[in-house]
Structure formats: C-alpha cells, structure tokens
Amino acid sequence: MHLRDINIKDMQLIFDWANDDEVRQNAINKNKIIWEEHKEWISKKILNPNSQIFILQDEEKTIGQIRFDKTKAHFEIDYSIDKRYRGLGYGHKILCLGIQKLNQKVRNVLPIKALVQENNIASKKIFKNAKFIESGQQLYNGMKYIVYMLKPKANTYIILSSKKWNSNILIYLKNAFPWHNWIMIDNKDNFTLEQLDKVNPHTIFIPHWSLIIPSKIYSKYNCIVFHMTDLPYGRGGSPLQNLIERGYKKTKVSALKVIKEIDAGDIFLKKELNLFGTAEEIFIRANTLIETMIFEIVTFDLKPKPQEGNVVYFKRRTPEMSKIDENLQEIEKLYDHIRMLDAEGYPKAYLETNFFKFEFTRAALKTNETIITDVRIIKK
C-alpha cells in the first residue's frame, strides 16, 4: 500500500469520486461538479506548488485521494475513499500516509486543518485517531463543521543494532521522516540510561541486539524489538538457526514490546520472510522488511496486542554446535547447516582434524549429491 502523486490521467477518476453522492453530502459545496470546471480546476491543481494531491494504491486497487492546500497559516486537508472500499479502515491509512508524504515532500512546519461536518461520525473518529485536536466550529451554508487541527511534532527515534546490515535502515527512515530526529546506536557503551536521557527518545527500535535490555531502560522508554519467528512460537535465542534446523522455509518477523520476560511482549505487527539463501542474505532481506515495519509503526501509530497461541521456546546455540555432525547423511541438511551460520559475527560451520580446522561458507546446493562451498583452513 502506498501513495502516488496525481497525474492528468486521474482526471476522470477524481471527477467520479468528487461527484459521489456521499462525498457531495459531506462537502461544503454540495452541488454536483461540472466536467469543464473540473478539467480547469485539476489542471491548475497539478501545477500549483501549494497543492499536494495523492492517490492511495493497494496493489492494483485504486482506493481514494487526499489533498493538502497550503494557506499562509496552515494546510487544509480533503480526502475521499472510493465507495467500494469504505468501512475497511482505509480512511485512517490514507490520512496517516498523506501526512507522512506531505511532511516528506515539503518539510512541513505548518499545522494541518480539517473541517468535518458535524454528523459525519466516521470522519470525526478518523481524525481523532490520527491525533487531530478538536479546535472549534465553523458554519458554512447553515451547516455546522467541526474544526480539527494537527500541529507538526518532531520526535527522536533510536535504531539499536550491532550489525552493519542494519545501517541502511537509518538512511531509509531519515528520508521517509526528515522532520524527526533519527539516531543509530551500535555499541553497548552508548546504550546507557544516562545517554538516552540526553536525547529523550520517543521509541527505541531494536533490529538486532544480543544483549539483555536493562529494565531501567525499557521501563522508561518504549522499546520495540524485532524477532525472526511467528511469536509466541520460537521465543528465545538463535531463532534463524533453530528455524532452519527444524526445516522451515519461511517465517514471520514479529515486532514486539520489550518487557521483563524474553520475547513475551505485546505484538505491534508481523511480516512474512522467506528463509532461502545464507544467513547474511536472510538478515539483509529482514532488514528491508524491518524498514517497512518501522515505517508502519511510526506512520499509523500502531498499538500492540497480546500474543496468541502456544508458547514454544528456542535454546540459544553455542559455538560448539557449529561443528558438522560426522553422522549427518542428508546433503540438504548439511547445506542448511552451512548456510544458516554464514553471516558476519556467527561461528561458521566447521570440521576439524587433530591439526586443522575447516570452516565452510558461501555454500551452493548444485545437485542432490553436490555442494560447492568456500573452505577456510586454519592450522591449530
């Protein structure tokens, strides 16, 4: 789901939406729109730098439009949803995505103003859920409209990770939310309560961190960790290796609140992840997925829900468990053992003799009888 800029090919679509009976009923000008006037209006709007119009796409479906018109004091907002998709939650999504898109494009520092007809219960709820504040009333053509205002606010967010493949998350989020302050912490010396108090973060996002989060930190600040299982299945350590060892070909990344019990916090959302390739390739794909998850958490102000299902615990692996079992007979399991450990910072799959250690990386399963792999030989 995403917003795109309007173009001249959308003229008929916008015209049809604007003349929808329910849209006209809730509009200030309740008269039907005339085609010739619409053509002139939309042509000017597309060229006007003080007007931003976006179309919401959900895969191949065209859901609705949202418009922001700049005045000296604020932006005025207007949106509508295709009648086929009303009542499905798209109103909240187009509003939140629209605000994010506006702030990204124009680095907005002005308040956003909405006028909602007094009896339009659905729209009033949508604006309230998006943190708009009721700020008065106005009369137009004898109808009462509620004024809602949203003042831009800059928050500080922290990305906590010890892995280099998570560094791109910071670049993506700075581009998506340039009005917020984004900070990367990649070592434990900088992750202290004293350091955090200096920046007072709204949320700490944790894509990859092997250390326990101190209770004095998660008790004070909202901490969200990303775990590579469909929780509550797979609580505990080494989730990727435990999944591959059990034969899983895909999983879900769970975004959850950090609490005292490991991986037991409420869930913000989950996204599916394929488990093909090396561990590092999987982590890189997960990185892109986590970017999207953080985007949704921030944009839609998602609230967590309790975990559901049977709890299954994973045990953290030790370096000694990287040794290849001499009795292993299935070539695919050998391939899985090599690839699941092939990432920076992980003890590689190995065999050893009395005098040498053989470490295996970059494995490729060519046939049912052949694995091609790099080998590093270390003299003991």
Neighbours of 329 (CB within 10 A): 7
In the predicted model, is pLDDT for residue 350 greater than 70? yes
Same domain, 32 and 84: yes
Same domain, 302 and 165: yes
Same domain, 200 and 327: no
Amino acid at 278: T
> Residue 92: which of 128, 67, 58, 51 has the closest Cα?
128
pLDDT of residue 77: 95
Residue where a domain terminates, one of 272, 289, 314: 314
Identify the CATH number of the domain in which residue 358 sits.
3.10.25.20
Residue 186 is encoded by which pair of tokens? 């990649």
CA distance 70 to 77: 9
Mean pLDDT in residue range 249-255: 98
Under the banding of pLDDT at 50, 70 and 90, the label for residue 367 is confident
* Average pLDDT, rounded, for the chain: 93
Please state the φ and ψ torsions of residue 102, each to the nearest 5 degrees: -60, -50
Same domain, 101 and 31: yes
| Structural domain for 201, as ranges | 156-314
User: DSSP per residue over 71-122, as a string?
Assistant: -SS-EEEEEEE-GGGTTSSHHHHHHHHHHHHHHHHH---S-EEEEEETT-HH
Mean pLDDT in residue range 174-183: 92
* Per-residue pLDDT reduced to its tens digit, 84-102: 999 999 999 999 999 999 9
pLDDT of residue 27: 78
In the predicted model, is pLDDT for residue 343 greater than 70? yes
CA distance 70 to 109: 11
Regarding pTM above 0.85, the answer is: yes
Pairing of strands 222-227, 233-236: unpaired
CA distance 284 to 208: 12
Same domain, 165 and 132: no
Residue where a domain terminates, one of 125, 150, 175: 150
* Per-residue pLDDT reduced to its tens digit, 279-317: 999 999 999 999 999 999 999 999 999 999 999 999 999
Neighbours of 159 (CB within 10 A): 21
pLDDT of residue 136: 92
* Per-residue pLDDT reduced to its tens digit, 261-275: 999 999 999 999 999
Mean pLDDT in residue range 172-188: 93
* Per-residue pLDDT reduced to its tens digit, 140-149: 888 899 999 9
Residue 313 is encoded by which pair of tokens? 């615990």
Residue 42 is encoded by which pair of tokens? 């939309």
Mean pLDDT in residue range 171-185: 93
Identify the CATH number of the domain in which residue 36 sits.
3.40.630.30
Residue where a domain terminates, one of 104, 129, 150: 150
Counted domains in the chain: 3
Mean pLDDT in residue range 3-25: 91
Peptide bond into 232 cis (omega under 30): yes
Residue 151 is encoded by which pair of tokens? 């003042």
Please state the φ and ψ torsions of residue 289, each to the nearest 5 degrees: -65, -40
Mean pLDDT in residue range 98-118: 87
| Residue 249 near residue 282, CB atoms below 8 Å | no
Same domain, 348 and 284: no
> Residue 2: which of 80, 126, 93 has the closest Cα?
93
End-to-end Cα, the chain, rounded Å: 54
pLDDT of residue 108: 61
> Residue 235 forms beta bridges with which residues?
313
Q: Which residue has the tokens 């995403």?
A: 2
DSSP-derived 3-state class of residue 209: coil
pLDDT of residue 127: 94
Q: Which residue has the tokens 């520092």?
A: 109
Same domain, 304 and 167: yes
Amino acid at 10: D
Same domain, 161 and 303: yes
* Per-residue pLDDT reduced to its tens digit, 27-77: 777 888 899 999 999 999 999 999 999 999 999 999 999 999 999 889 999
Under the banding of pLDDT at 50, 70 and 90, the label for residue 17 is very high
Stretch (H or E) spanning 2: strand 2-5
* Per-residue pLDDT reduced to its tens digit, 208-230: 998 999 999 999 999 999 999 99
> Residue 166: which of 363, 362, 343, 348 has the closest Cα?
343
User: DSSP per residue over 118-173, as a string?
Assistant: TT-HHHHHHHHHTT-EEEEEEEETTEEEEEEEE-----EEEEEES-GGGHHHHHHH
